[in-house]
Structure 1
Amino acid sequence: MATLYQFPYRTVAEVSLSSLIKNLVTLRTLSKKEVIPIVKADAYGHGMISVSKALVSRGSCHTLAVATLEEAIELRKKIPYAISIIVLSGYWPHQAEAFVKYRLIPVIHSLNHLKSLQLRKTLPDIHLKVDTGMHRLGILPEELPEAIQLLTKMNIKLSGLATHFAESDKSTSSFTDEQLRLFEEVYRDLQDRKLLHTDAKIHLANSSAILRGKLGSSLSVRPGLSLFGISPNPNLKGSEQLIPILTWKARVVGSKPLKRGDTVGYGRTYRAKRGEKISIVSIGYADGYPRALSNKGSVLLNGKKVAIRGRVSMDLIAVDSTGLDVRDGSSVVLIGSDRRLDISASEVAQWAGTIPYEILCGISSRVPRIYLD
């Protein structure tokens, strides 16, 4: 049993870089395509810089993708200029100089942004995003003739072409097939007009599309969640090959007995039905542990799954430790394995009424990330 002296943090997220690389290899094998890892949102809470360095040095990745210019600049300062960095949310015209300076690639997703390039003497490489049905970012099919005119007028050849699937995580989805069909039409049209570089990156498949084999004319794939060992839909073939790379731990800071009728925490929302013991654990919603788990989540303690008692507060939770030999400093697993039991990010998300993306991205900066192997 880990004790206070062996476990120096009040809470910690351990990230296995060897498992990250195994997932990368799995996704390469399944897709048979170049993998463009998505490392936005601090690599889905796993730590953008350390994860990216491992993907480049140990995984031989040549292109990474983030959401924002700020993320891209932070990453560029730690990653060689030979590595391409795609900024998925595009750019504002006033940011153009930064894209050139840091050799960043914006994904252009509107006619207005495309028009703004006419005012620039020096242009970054650009990718074009086509909206095939997500109705979020992207040039709509009816806007393509004008986009083609602008590209032709500016003598721009695209370095990449992309779209995004709306429901590829469903085991069967005719809508995904329709999006693929639309994308293929656009791709062929741009090819025929010679508006794509010969080595342009054609990317549309996210994690679930990779697992479903919905790749179309993709030359590259864009996995996010699956890189970190979690499938958007565990029923998709290949999901069983993914290895979760993050273990989230906290520790017991004290234990006390409860008599029948005693209440626990803010609002006194849990009342003991018998004599019990609770242990107080050093985790709370300020660390990103969801308040929605109040009275319904569980953790692993001494190899047992034990229930949360009362509300999740800012820095602490209480758990049922009745019958367990618990010491101050004992390790508590919030996400991960303890002996033969496991709690996944997906399970925590289900208890909290959300998705694993939100759980992982929500792990706050108060939680140190420790990188293993």
Structure 2
Amino acid sequence: MTSGARAEIVVDLAAIRHNVRRLREIAADSLDPGVEPPKMMTVVKADGYGHGVTEVSRAAREGGADWLGAATLEEALAVRDGGDTGPLLCWLTVPGDHWGAAIERDIDVTAYSLVELAEIEAAAERLSVAARVQLKVDTGLTRGGCPAELWPALVAECRAAELRGTLRITGIWSHLACADEPDHPANDSQEKVFLEALDVARQAGLRPEVRHLANSAATVLRPSVRFDMVRCGIATYGLDPAPGVTRDLGLVPAMTVRAPLAMVKSAPAGTSVSYGHTWTADVDTRLGLVPVGYAEGLPRVAANKVEVWLNGKRRPERGIICMDQFMIDLGDDEAHEGDLVEIFGTGHDGAPTALDWARAAGTINYEVVTRIGGRLHRVHVDSERGRG
């Protein structure tokens, strides 16, 4: 544990570098000789999926990330503030956003509509520069992106703006709804719609630098949608993008959450634990208090269904997970205040992972790692370079 930390998130930057390298290998797998492999975008939105955006961005570049991706303008600007100067895309904006700040700092922005495009162009004109713009088409996720029926008008206006010199269309992209279910018919449908959208854009005269559709799951499971670039988010952090479907990908989880035992106490048979007394000891046992709770992002709904790792063994959580703390069952095993509890981590020796917590909570590993934080102290280590 870091000196003075009550509980902490430990992020191994060597795992980030390794995962980016490994995903580049996967994306290049099965290509014909002489075919250029797709570029790699590492998605660092949501503070690097809870891992720390500045540190993750740097490690991803070291691992070979050609592009970085952020959701909001604020996130993209934070990447720049952290010192990154390479290709960077953001895609989630609202009317009146400060486009000029992104354009000035060479950030690619995304347009879904003529209204967005007009705002971007106006900002570019004020700065007397050509904005770098990527277009997102809605191919069937039915979320952000230009609807197919409005696509011809959008690409035509984009080409006109290119001729005016106010912007440059650098990319065309979309997002899959069911990439983690390789047999889902939506995958074929969305790929077909995307190809049609690319054809419409080509006929309008657009020649983007990159075309991209594949997220982490599609990068692994659907080679036909790798195009010029793949976008890897959750897999970058060592977490399986399609649990139960993918083979062993050779990824390494980068995040470990841990805390020292704050207290050990006896619990005779019949003792009930925590709010609502949802668990009662049926035999004499001993309990340990872990000083982390839902204020740090642990899912309360996982109570009585998860385990942690202590002294080489999984220990079941007992009773409702509270705002600041939860209890674990030690049985007859020796344990003491200060012993280190691994709440979830790499899965070494069978220890619990973020996926274990996700399954207990009825959610996905993405949610577990991105919501963790609160009062936890985050520390970055580098097992490859002997730091931490």
TM class by smaller structure: over 0.9
Q: Deviations over 1:146-192 (max 9, x none)?
A: 11331233235411111000001003122111111111122133224
Further displaced range: 320-329 or 293-302: 293-302
Alpha-carbon separation, structure 2, partners of 1:7 and 1:275: 35
Q: Per-residue deviation at 1:111?
A: 2.8
Of 40, 45, 48, 1:40 maps to 45
Counterpart residue number, 1:92: 95
Partner of 1:206: 215
Matches of 2:226 and 2:238, distance apart in 1: 25
Aligned in 2, Cα 1:26/1:334: closer, same or farther, shift over 3 Å? same
CA distance in 2, matches of 1:171, 1:149: 34
Matches within 5 A, 1:45-194: 45-56=50-61, 58-81=62-85, 83-90=86-93, 92-120=95-123, 121=125, 122=128, 123-154=130-161, 155=163, 156-194=167-205
Distance across 2 between alignment mates of 1:211 and 1:118:
37
The separation in 1 between residues aligned to 2:203 and 2:326, in whole angstroms, is 61
- Cα distance between partner residues in 1 of 2:157 and 2:133: 13
Q: Deviations over 1:29-80 (max 9, x none)?
A: 1112211100000111111111111122x22434211111111111111124
SS in 2 for 1:66: strand
Partner SS state of residue 296, structure 1:
coil
Aligned match for 1:19, one of 15, 20, 35 = 15
- Paired with 1:338 and 1:193, the residues of 2 have a C-alpha distance of 51
Question: Residues 318 and 94 of structure 1: is their aligned pair in 2 closer, same or farther, counting only changes over 3 Å?
Answer: closer
Give me the whole-angstrom Cα distance separating, in 2, the residues matched to 1:219 and 1:157. Answer: 18
What SS is found at the alignment partner of 1:241?
Answer: coil
Q: 1:217 to 1:324 in 2, by over 3 A?
A: closer
From 234, 248, 267, give the equivalent of 1:225: 234
Identity, in percent, stands at 29
5+ residue gaps, structure 2, are 29-37, 383-388
> How far 1:236 moved relative to its partner?
3.8
In 2, the alpha carbon distance for the partners of 1:93 and 1:362 equals: 28
Equivalence map 1:289-308=2 (5 Å): 289-308=298-317
CA distance in structure 1 between the aligned counterparts of 2:182 and 2:207, rounded to whole angstroms: 32
Q: Secondary structure at the match of 2:43?
A: coil
Q: Which letter maps to 1:353?
A: G
Segments of structure 1 that go 5 or more residues without pairing to the other structure are: none
What is the count of residue pairs matched by the alignment?
Answer: 365
For the 8 Å contact 1:165–1:176, the answer to whether it is kept is yes
TM-score normalised per structure 1: 0.92
Output the amino acid matched with 2:68. Answer: L
Over the aligned positions, Cα root-mean-square deviation in angstroms equals 2.0
Q: 2: CA distance between counterparts of 1:220 and 1:339?
A: 32
Q: Per-residue deviation at 1:239? A: 4.1
1:45 to 1:118, Cα distance in 2 relative to 1, 3 A = closer
Question: Does the Cα contact within 8 Å between 1:278 and 1:318 map onto a contact in 2?
Answer: yes
| Alignment-derived partner of residue 363 in structure 2 | 354
Distance in 2 of aligned mates of 1:148 and 1:355: 36
What is the aligned partner in structure 1 of residue 249 from structure 2? Answer: 240
* Structure 1 residue 369, shift from structure 2 partner: 2.0
| Rounded Cα–Cα distance in structure 2 between residues aligned with 1:17 and 1:36 | 17
Q: Supply the distance in 2 between the matched residues of 1:300 and 1:94 (Cα, whole angstroms).
A: 45
Structure 2 CA distance, aligned partners of 1:70 and 1:140?
26
Give the direction of change, closer, same or farther, for the CA distance of 1:163–1:39 in structure 2 (3 Å limit).
Answer: same
Distance in 2 of aligned mates of 1:319 and 1:125? 53
How far, CA to CA, are the matches of 1:301 and 1:362 in structure 2? 23
